[in-house]
């Protein structure tokens, strides 16, 4: 599990020692730990920082170090609790890129707890909780297609969908429910082509 604040789970004074902490506690042989640490840091693009002090890293870098520590344990599933909540936009992009790489390239299941709907649009499955119960469960298109219900629960919809909805209210005929900037631009180009 990776927590919202990486400072709550970084335990060592050097990045590579922190990434090695989990495998060491699992009794992994030292040579294998070295290989895993290097591999995990490369996966999250933090290898060049292996000898740095974690407290001198940015929030996004610390979060990637925390993720590397989980990768080094060679788990099949990672649960992340609001891992981008305390990050600036660049740090958020770095972390989301690392998570996509873990899932798509390494086949690691990623369970992401987030209030940022723009992060949820790339998921295979979205589960919306409300008052401790499952309120919605489906693909991003199925879930975010119920924008009014989401708003009634105090949640937002992805920015691309929100913009499309606003344009529709003002007479622009955007079709579908674009969830990403790329999808929105594709639909908007179709509208421009009709003018």
The alpha carbon torsion through 106, 112, 115, 118 (nearest 10 deg) reads 20
**Is the pTM for the entire model greater than 0.85?**
no
Q: Where residue 89 falls among pLDDT bands split at 50, 70, 90?
A: confident
Structure tokens that stand for 15 in this block: 């990045």
Residues 6+ away with beta carbon under 8 Å from 195: none
Q: 121-177: per-residue pLDDT in tens? A: 989 999 999 999 999 999 999 999 898 899 899 998 999 999 998 999 999 888 888
pLDDT, residue 29, reads 97
Q: What's the rounded mean pLDDT across residues 171-185?
A: 89
| Locus of tokens 């919202």 | 4
pLDDT, residue 173, reads 85
Question: What domains are defined for the chain?
Answer: 6-114 (3.40.50.300)
Given phi > 0 = left and psi -120 to 50 = alpha, else beta, which region is 19? Answer: alpha
pLDDT, residue 105, reads 87
pLDDT, residue 195, reads 64
What are phi and psi for residue 124, nearest 5 degrees?
Answer: -75, -30
Q: How far apart are CA 119 and CA 83, in angstroms?
A: 11
Q: What's the rounded mean pLDDT across residues 28-39?
A: 96
Size of the chain in residues: 195
pLDDT, residue 192, reads 85
Beta bridge partners of 2: 80
Within a 13 Å sphere around the CA of 110, how many CA atoms are in the beta-carbon half? Answer: 26
């Amino acid at each position: 599990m990776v927590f919202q604040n990486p400072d709550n789970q970084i335990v060592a004074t050097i990045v590579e020692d922190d990434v090695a902490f989990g495998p060491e506690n699992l009794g992994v042989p030292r040579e294998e730990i070295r290989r895993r640490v290097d591999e995990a840091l490369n996966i999250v693009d933090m290898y060049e920082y292996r000898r740095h002090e974690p407290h001198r890293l940015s929030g996004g870098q610390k979060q990637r170090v925390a993720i590397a520590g989980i990768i080094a344990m060679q788990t099949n599933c990672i649960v992340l609790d609001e891992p981008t909540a305390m990050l600036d936009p660049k740090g958020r992009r770095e972390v989301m890129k690392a998570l996509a790489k873990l899932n798509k390239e390494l086949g690691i299941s990623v369970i992401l707890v987030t209030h940022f709907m723009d992060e949820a649009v790339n998921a295979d499955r979205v589960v919306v909780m409300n008052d401790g119960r499952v309120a919605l469960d489906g693909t991003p298109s199925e879930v975010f297609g119920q924008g009014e219900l989401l708003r009634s629960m105090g949640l937002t919809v992805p920015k691309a969908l929100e913009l499309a909805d606003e344009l529709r209210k003002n007479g622009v005929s955007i079709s579908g429910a674009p969830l990403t900037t790329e999808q929105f631009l594709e639909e908007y180009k179709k509208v421009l082509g009709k003018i």
